[in-house]
Structure 1
C-alpha cells in the first residue's frame, strides 16, 4: 500500500517514530502540503493521511487510486465526505486521543487567569520583586477557584474530564448537553442558565451550524462581569468581535483561548492587545503522550482497513 501523509509536522516535528506506519506500507511523508500540491503528491496513493490539509471533491475526484482517507484528528471537516462516499472511499478519524491533555490545558489556562503565574514570573525576572519594599507583591488580584461554578458546554469525553477536574478543585459544575445523561457531580441546565450562573465557562462542543458563534453579543450579555471564558475547542464557536468588545469594556473579567477564528492569526489581531485575554497557539492537544496515542490509533485504523476490521469510521 502506498501511504501519503500530507501534513506530518504538527503531529510529529521529529520527536516521534513513524515506524508504526512504515510497517503498513510505503510511506511518503510531507511536513506541509499546499492546496495546489495535493493531487501531485497523492497521485499514486491508496491511503492519504491529513490533519488540516483540505481534501475537496476536486482533489478526491482526481486521485484515481485513493481507497482510504485517515484524518489525523477528531474533527473531519477537512474532507468532503459526500465526495468520498460517492467514490466508496473509507474515511476514519481519531477520537479521544487527547482527552486528558485538553482537560489539563483548561485548568492551566484557568489558573493563569486566576493566579497569574506567568505574568508574575516574568515581572520578577524584570526586577519587580527585587525593587519591592515588602516581602511579596501582586500586580493582579489572585482568585481562589474553589467554590466557583464551572459551566461546561458539551459533556463529551473532554467535557466530562474537565468536570472531574473541576470537582477535584472544589468547584460546582453545570453542564449543557443536547442529550444529557446523569453524571456524577454535574447539574445539567439549559444554556441561558449556564451563561448566567457560571463563574467559568469552558467550551467543549463541535463547531456546527447550530454552535457557530455560540459566544456572541447575546450570550456574553448574560454572563457575570466576574466570569471567565475558556475555549480549547474550535475558534468558530466565538464571535471574536463581540468578545473583544466584552473584554475591552470589562463586560466579562477575562478569556483564555487556545483556538481562534483564523489559524495562524493575523499579527494585528486586536485580541493580542488585551491584558485580560490569554492566547495559546492551538496546543491543548499536543502533549507528546497525546500525539503518540494519535499516531498509534491512526496506524490501528489503517491496519483495520487492511484486515477488514474497520474502526473509527466516519463513512
Structure 2
C-alpha cells in the first residue's frame, strides 16, 4: 500500500478522537486554516481532510499530488466535486452518522415552538406566575404533535430518523417529491401539496443549485398559518429574508433553525437580530452530540483507509 501524506485542515471543528490513518506516512493536523494558508499546507499532500474549509478548482489545480479529499461531514458543497471528478480526485463524505442526533435536535426545536416554551419561560421570569390568580396561566397557545402532519424534505437516513420519531408521537408523515434520487418503497407528495398539508415542515436535503432557496416567500405562503418550519440541514435552502417577512406577517407560526447561509456570521446576520418567541436559532450543533462526532471521526479515517486499499466507499466524485 502506498504511503500517504495526510493533512487535516480544520481539526478544531471536530470534538472527538481522530487517529492517524494506517496508510499515512505523515499525518499533520491544523486547528484551522485560512484561505491564504491552503496552498502551503497542502503542498505535497496526497490526502486532504476538510470539514468546512473550501477546496475550489483554482486551488486544486495547483496541487498535483492530491489524490483524495476526505470530507469530515455529510455535506460536501465546500468541494468543487465536478472538477475533482474530471481530474481523478476521489472525494468521500460521511454517511449516516447523525441519524439520531439531528432528528432529536429537530424535535427539540419542534416541541419548544409548538408548546411555546420560550414564551412561557419569559413570562415566568417576568413574574407572571407569581401574580396568577390560579395555579397556572394560559398566556400562549399550546399545541399537540399527536394527530398532526410532519412534512419531510429529504428521504435519507436523517429524514427517515425524523419519520420514526414522528410516528412515535402519533404524527402522519409525508415525504416531499422534490428532486431525485428517491428512496425506493416510499410514497411521495408534491412539494407544494406537502407545504399546504403539513403542520410542521422539516428540511433534511443537501444544498445544491437545485435546492438553493427551495423555500422562498411563495412556498412560505403555501404553508398553513399555524405551521412550523424547521431547518437543521443547510442555511441556503431557505430564503432568509423571506422567512423574516413570513414571521412578521404571520404566514407561519414559527421557525427553528440550526444553520445560516453564512457561517460563522462574523458581520452579523438578520436572523441573529430576531428576538421573538416564535423563532429559535442554534449555532449549527444539531450534529454535534459526543457519540455522533466520534462515529464521524472513526468513519472519516476508515474512508481514507478503504480508498488507500483500493476499495473506496462513500464516494461523491
- Cα shift readout 1:54-84 (whole Å, capped 9, x = no counterpart): 1112221222322211111112221122332
State the superposition RMSD in angstroms.
2.0
Alignment of 1:109-128 (within 5 A): 109-121=109-121, 124=124, 127-128=127-128
Residues 174-233 of structure 1, C-alpha deviations (whole Å, 9 max, x = no match) = 1113436434xxx53111211111111111122222222111121111111111101111
Structure 1 distance, partners of 2:309, 2:269, is 50
1:112-191 equivalence runs, <5 A = 112-121=112-121, 124=124, 127-177=127-177, 178=179, 179=182, 181-183=184-186, 188-191=188-191
Q: Identify the residue that residue 312 of structure 2 maps to in structure 1.
A: 310
Partner Cα distance (1:308, 1:22) in 2: 14
Distance 1:36 1:237 in 2: 29
Q: Does 2:293 align with 1:294? A: no
Q: CA deviation at 1:267?
A: 2.7
Contact 1:69 1:90 in 2 (8 A): yes
Cα deviation digits, residues 89-121 of structure 1 (max 9, x gap): 221111111111111111010011012335544
Aligned 8 A contact 1:99 1:161 in 2 = yes
Corresponding pairs, count: 308
Match of 1:84 in 2: 84
Unaligned runs of 5+ in 2: none
Asked if 1 retains the 8 angstrom alpha-carbon contact of 2:119 and 2:140, the reply is no
User: Larger relative contact order (C-alpha < 8 A, sep ≥ 6)?
Assistant: 2
- Cα distance in 2 for partners of 1:24, 1:128 equals 63
User: Residue 104 in 1 paired to residue 104 in 2?
Assistant: yes
What TM-score comes out, normalization by structure 1 length? 0.90
Farther-moved stretch of structure 1 (263-272 vs 139-148):
263-272
Q: Distance in 1 between matches of 2:231 and 2:97?
A: 18
1:231 is aligned to 231
| Kept in 1: contact 2:151–2:174 (CA 8 A) | yes
Where does structure 1 lack aligned partners over 5 or more consecutive residues?
none
